[in-house]
Structure 1
Amino acid sequence: MDFAGASLIADDKLCAAIESVVDAGVDSGYHLLVVQGYSCTKEKTPKDEWIESHPFIVVGRRWIIDYHPNGFEDEEYISLVLTLDDDIEPSVNVQYVFSSVDQSELRVPKNIRQSQSVYLDEHLDGQYEFMKLQSHLGNLLLSKECAHITFEVGGEDFAAHRCLLVARSSVFKAQLCGAMNESSVVKISALY
């Protein structure tokens, strides 16, 4: 499968493209859609709106991926919709796969959703319940409820959860889980 371009969504909007339309010139291709700052995108994009990828061409047809951070029908899901973005007849029979990679350094696809062979005469098809969002943990983090640690950085305080810091960092694990360590303030100073 050949590369058919990339789109970057950051700060709740599509970033400018280097090329206007990428033509893979192949019968099978993939488009990389990168979303930075999902929480910001979800918060700033109204429920019934979406963000379009840059256009790309595969099988001689122009395509766009519609990214719905608040779902197509249910806001607990992320929805992805493949849109045929041209008026060329006849319509086309396609099969597509959407997958997500949570951390780019891992490069292990998760949440893989593959369509059956679909005849696109309506110009769109998608995974309306592509990935369900686990909002409980996110809400806890945003509310600072039950935060056990405070980071003091440049005179400003930031709340954090000990168990999450320990789970994500061996440095914090060593610092926060030492024998009888009950420290609740971590001071961070800049070194010049």
Structure 2
Amino acid sequence: MGHDDNSYIRSGVFMVGNHNWAIRFFPDGYKGEGQDYISVYLELLCITELRASCDMRLVDQCTGISYSMHKTGPKIFRSGDISRFAPLTPIFIRRSEIEGSVYLRDDRLTIECIVTVFKRPHVTETKSYPKIDMPPADMTDHVAKLLEEKEGFDVSFLVGGEMIEAHRFVLAMRSPVLKAELYGSMQEARPGQCITVEDMQPAVFKAMLHFIYTDSLPSGDDTEMVRLLLVAADR
């Protein structure tokens, strides 16, 4: 080989990480830089961009053991610019250190290059869980059905000669006064208990029960009924 400072020997193409690579060997240094040195580069041949590292090693021709000379990276290799080469220095080893060394035998020099390509991290798509819409609050509807279905009554009220039934626990839940009346220390929570209500119309008592069970007034109530309900509530 002549002494053109741009002349080089390129290795055969080899593949690492599904990408093609080669080694360039400049026996007289790269473009005159690093006098008295040889230059060795790993080159990315594919049109791509990736992250990799490399370890340039010289092999002892007697033992077969390799010794690291230059380690690079991890770094970005881009095929379109100088970053496709590594290392980014023309200084590999002095020619005087090669001549007569264990690395050079019968004009044979073996360079080993360990290339590691770092694949992009695999990001698992975030699993989206179906949105669960909270159902509207319907406890009031369920309590109201207890009154509509007329089942499970355990307390009766005699109002204006009419027997009106209800659920003791609902009345106690909605009114501290009724709770004391129905479950007070002097009262037994006995099934079929009957309480007489004086001076109240059955329709007004039923409207009051409707409010206790549904938290709403019966539809179509007139002003007089509302007044009577307020009187009943006050009692």
Query: TM-score higher than 0.5 here?
Result: no
Higher helix share: 2
TM-score by length of 2: 0.36
| Structure whose CA Rg is larger | 2
